[in-house]
Structure formats: C-alpha cells, structure tokens
A and B are shown apart, each in its own frame.
Chain A
C-alpha cells in the first residue's frame, strides 16, 4: 500500500514515473544507517551489512513522545499566525497518513497550511515547488525529498530566508541542524528488516530454506530494509538458509519470480517480499502453486496483506511503521524552532511487528484509521 516504496517500469508515460521511482524512492545519501561504503541499490540489499539505524552525524533517534508543548507555548504559537507548507515526493496512502498527522498537529498549534504539493517523484518539480511555496512566505516547510542533493539549492535558499525546514528520512549531505534545518524524522529501517526476519524465522521454526526477493533499484529506504532482513537472517538464524535470491525492479514481476523460486526450490518454507505490492504477487504465486505451507514476510500496512494475516493465510510476518507520528513530529519540530526551543536532531518512529491480534491497533496507530470491511470480516469481528 505504501506507494512511496513502489516502482513500476516499462510503459510509455509510466516509464517516466518508473524511472523516478526506481531512482528516487526515498533515495539520496545513505546517512542514517550504518552501511558498507560504496554500495547502493540492489547491491546493498545483497551485500550490505547493517546493524542499527543511526541519525545524521551519528545522532541517536529519539521517540516522537519527546516532543511536547506547554500550554503557554501553544498559546504563543497560536497567536503568531504561522504557516507551514507540506511538500511530498508523491501522493500515496502512506503520504496521506503523514499529512493527517501533520494537519492534526498544525491544527493543535494554530498553524495554517501554506500549501500542499506532490512532485510526482520529480526532483526538479520539487525544487520548483519549494520556490513557489517561498513566494507565500511560509514560516516552515515540511519536505519529503525526492533527491536531497538535487534539492539542496532550493532548500538552502529557503533556509537562508529564515524558513524552518523539517525533513522526512533524508537530507542534503552536509546540512547542519539548527542552521540549515530544524530536524529530521524517519523510520527505524534496521528494525523494520530485523523484526520481519524474526517474524518469518519464528513462523518456520527457525530452520529451513527461504527465498529472498529484493528490490533491485536505487531506493534508500527499501534497500536498507532489505539488507537488514538479510543481515538478520544470516547473523541470527544459522539454521535458515537463503536458498533463492532474486531481484526485481517492477513489482508486477513478483508473481513470476516467486513462481520460479517455488518451482526450483520445492523445499522453500518462506519468502520475503520488500513491501505489500510485490508481496501480493508472492501470495498469488503461492496460491497458484497450491503451496499453502509457505510463509511470507513483508512490510508496510496494506489491506490485502492484512486480510491474509487476519485469515491465517500465508502472511506470517508483517512489520509496519508509524507515518501519522512522522507527520506530527515534523510539524512539532518546526513548532519548537518557531518558539526558539531546541529541537531534537532526529526523531525516529518505531518498527511495529503486527500479528492477527494487533491488526486493529496497527491501523489505529499507523494510519489513525479503521481497517476496511474485508479486514474486519477476515478477523471475524
């Protein structure tokens, strides 16, 4: 469901989107996770070693709960008629949840929305959007950067004009907190991969063969999570063997790839898929091969995946993040800065393993929404 993590490939205009997706899905400088140098994209997913998620300049991630305002601070913000613009890479349900969190916090602090922009994975469009928003003289800008370094000149201009910047997941290399930006908010990428690995391992009694379907394109967040999954399996579960490894750049290919994995590795007990869309293809392959004994581990909250989990289907391990808190935290960081309060350099939202029993909580926490009727029905509620 999180389309910000998806890619597509070969169709005429879709190809334009795909190029942007493949190249820029939360792409940029791998500044947040301890990573092997010089590897990006699928190569990092295959060979990179990750052990934890760290913030810019080694900053430790702090939970969103550290951000709070006194009544006086809120009154001060409400009286000042500030405004904040929200600039996203793309529209997606994940982005919708971030927006919802941001809007709730903006409302609570009495800050106006200066504008909302979706640059459809175009770095140049996003740079133009920053310029357009600056004309409205916002007090702050929340940015989910397409390509942080390409966005640097536009963001620098905004910072020099005194606009408070809060960024999602990534930032231009060399940006200084307090001077160029207020704060960074992101996921615990290592924990996302780690918890998915732990969940899948548990589902197969910590032994046997699994398939590793990884995203073979330059996409910072997905690459980090894929590497974290693989690293955890290799390091912590010696009796589990990654018997089949195959990359993809078009999620629509997941069905064929998973079908081939199952065909050529009949002993497979589990398959990892990086996010919901390829996971749906893996589920289709499992059904087509009549192999209901194969467990699937994946990430991000998707209705189709949630139904499988709720029905005791093939999805046995699911890890989600907390986009609503990301949105709230971004605005709170800007609020801190506007009242001259020292803002945390890096807020990190947790990775949340989801089970059948916690699906409703996951929807409530991550998306501040109730699940669709199919999920409720599958839960028997």
Chain B
C-alpha cells in the first residue's frame, strides 16, 4: 500500500488542487517502508521464535492489548503531525483521563466515569489548541508546558495514590473483556482505525488538515480556517490519548499517575515509521497502525527471545534508525 494521503488531482475541488499537494503517485520506497519492515520483522520472529510461542493466539492477544492504546494515539498523532503540529502532552493526558475515569467510577458510577475520561480528552485538547492558536506559540512549546501541567494535575488529583477499578462492566468494556481469543481492545482498535481512516482519507476535514500542514498561507487563501483545523487536531490527539488512558485503566483495572509515561516516543516512532511526515502535509493511518504494531512486535519478539533490557533498547534503537532512514529521508541538497 502506498502512503495513502497525497491528494490526487482528480478527487478534490479545483481550488484544492493548487496547494502543491499533488502528483505524488510515483512509487517511492519510502512509502512502503513500514510494510516491508513489518513483513521482515514478522518473518524473522516467525522463523526464529516459532517454537517459543510467537505465532500463538495467546501471544497475539498480548500484542493486541499492548498495541491498541499506542495505535489509537498514533491515529491522533497522524492528524497532528499532518497539520504541522506536535503534541507532547499525550502521555500526561493518558494518566489524567485514567485517573479521572477511575475517580468518576468511584464516586458517581459507570456513565460518569466514562464521561470524565472523555471530557478530559476534550478539555485538554481544547486547551492545547486554544493556547497554540491564541498565543501564536508553537505546539512543541505549548504542549511541553501542558505535558507538565497535566502530569501535575494527575498527581494532585489523588495525592499520587493509585485508584483501583472494581466496576466489572467498565473493565469488560475497556480492555479486560474478550472477543473470541482476543482482548476486546481489538474492537476499539478496529473502530478507531475505521473512523480515523474515513476522517483522514474520505472527509474534507482530512484534506483541510493536510493543506494546513503543507502550507498554512495557501490553505487560508483557499478558505480553510486553519485556526479551527489546528484546534481540532489537538482535540483529536487528546481524545485518542484519553481513550488510551481509559483502555489502560480497564486493562490494569486501576489507574495511577505513571500510566502512559513512556508512550510518547513509542507513538511518534510508530507514526513516522508509518510514513507520516514530521514536517506536515502528509501521513498515513494504515501506516501508523502498522508502525505501532511493528514497535510492539519488536518488543514482544525480543522479550520472547529472552533479550536483556539493554539489548532490547539497542535493537529497538537500531530498527527505528533504519526505518526512519528510509521513511523520512530528505531529498539531496
């Protein structure tokens, strides 16, 4: 599959064709990096670890549980990066939404718990977006600040204590239930993928996001409200992080302020390996999904191999460098 979001010159209104986001149908190795990487890594582990459980259903369940929150955040990150922004605060939103959900469940029951979690995402994203647009400060700097702010709020909300979740309906809905042999997280993954792909690929919103990230001035000249787009992508990102936090809470059956703290780089690595540009203008939802699975699969395979922590870190680093060397390579000067 090619990088799925260069805009064609035929399926958009004429005005949209002048943004320079055209004619990217030529085959590029960079577009298939993630698919190639996925096949290579999967093939390698399938061959070397077939007798160590790599291909078992139980292992697939483990990978799905691990991938789902990361992939959901990766879908959000595709929108953000395509719009030329970045969101460093997602890990803190994960913790905040998980804790607020757990507190909502504790004090007010299931509907409130779910609402608290989702509203956390909406609120955090709205704040990020308004600050970026209103203060005209780069998203990197704003979200660097809100990352700390949200983390602090998460820590203060329970005085650093973890909050157990004993609501069986909640945990069954969010990650602890099963669908066949797999965790029900896979349902969230599939729904998240379909919604993200349609919004990104088939709705005008997806094009506006790309136009904003490709050239804000051109997009504005074409009537795109880039401020609204930038606020929207920050909200999408935070909402996916909030959903990830709710899934973590359901899977772990509790929430603690450290949830999500190591997710940011994993998410970004999955997204850029999947072909989304760090400089805005183009991206790929399927690429982000495959990139996220690839990241989880690498860790999974290395753990099954019995690799030490240090070996895992080195191998992951090498694979990321190799993948981005292909997928993110810049034209020669």
Contacts and interface: CB of A to CB of B under 8 A. Distances in A.
Q: Do A and B come from one complex?
A: yes
A42 interface: yes
Interface string A10-36: 111111011000000000000000000
A92 interface: yes
Interface residues of B, number: 48
B173 to A, nearest CB: 15
A372 interface: yes
B256 A277 contact: yes
A156 interface: no
Interface stretch (B199-207, B274-282, B301-309): B301-309
Interface in B178-192: 183
Interface string A66-94: 00000000000000000000000001110
B12 to A, nearest CB: 36
A304 B59 CA distance: 25
A362 to B, nearest CB: 14
Contacts of B251: 255, 284
Contacts of B36: none
A247 B308 contact: yes
A252 B295 CA distance: 14
B141 to A, nearest CB: 12
Contacts of A260: 53, 59, 62, 300, 303-304
Interface stretch (A204-212, A232-240, A285-293): A285-293
Interface stretch (A1-9, A179-187, A342-350): A1-9
Interface in B270-306: 299-300, 303-304, 306
B258 A375 contact: no
A142 B164 CA distance: 32
Contacts of B58: 259, 262-263, 289
Contacts of A378: 164, 166
B299 A14 contact: no
B261 A259 contact: no
B220 interface: no
A374 B164 contact: yes
Nearest to A302: B162
A264 interface: yes
A235 B257 CA distance: 37
A263 B256 contact: no
A47 B148 CA distance: 39
Contact of A13 (B88, B162, B304, B308): B88
Contacts of B155: 91
Interface string A260-281: 1011100000000000110011
B299 A264 contact: no
A12 B62 contact: no
Contacts of B144: 13
A360 to B, nearest CB: 15
Given A13-B144, A42-B309, A253 B258 contact: no
Contact of B309 (A1, A247, A289, A304): A247
B159 A1 contact: no
A264 B52 contact: yes
A61 to B, nearest CB: 28
Contacts of B56: 263
Contact of A12 (B253, B265, B308): B265
Given A304-B256, A374-B106, A11 B263 contact: yes
A151 interface: no
A11 B261 contact: yes
B163 A303 contact: yes
A10 B314 CA distance: 12
A283 interface: yes
Contacts of A217: 309
B91 interface: yes
A222 interface: no
Contacts of B61: 288-289
A198 interface: no
Contact of B261 (A8, A280, A304): A8
B320 to A, nearest CB: 10
A223 to B, nearest CB: 14
Given A14-B264, A252-B262, A3 B62 contact: no
A303 B262 contact: no
Contacts of A10: 262, 265-266, 313
Given A216-B308, A263-B56, A374-B166, A253 B264 contact: no
- The 4 tightest CB contacts between A and B, nearest first, are A304-B254, A11-B264, A259-B62, A374-B164
25 contacts: A1-B256, A3-B258, A10-B262, A10-B265, A10-B313, A13-B88, A13-B144, A14-B261, A14-B262, A92-B160, A217-B309, A246-B306, A252-B262, A256-B303, A259-B58, A260-B300, A260-B303, A262-B58, A263-B62, A280-B162, A280-B256, A284-B251, A302-B162, A303-B162, A373-B106
Given A8-B262, A302-B162, 15 more contacts: A3-B160, A3-B257, A9-B262, A10-B313, A17-B261, A91-B160, A256-B62, A259-B59, A260-B53, A263-B59, A280-B162, A289-B58, A289-B61, A374-B164, A377-B166
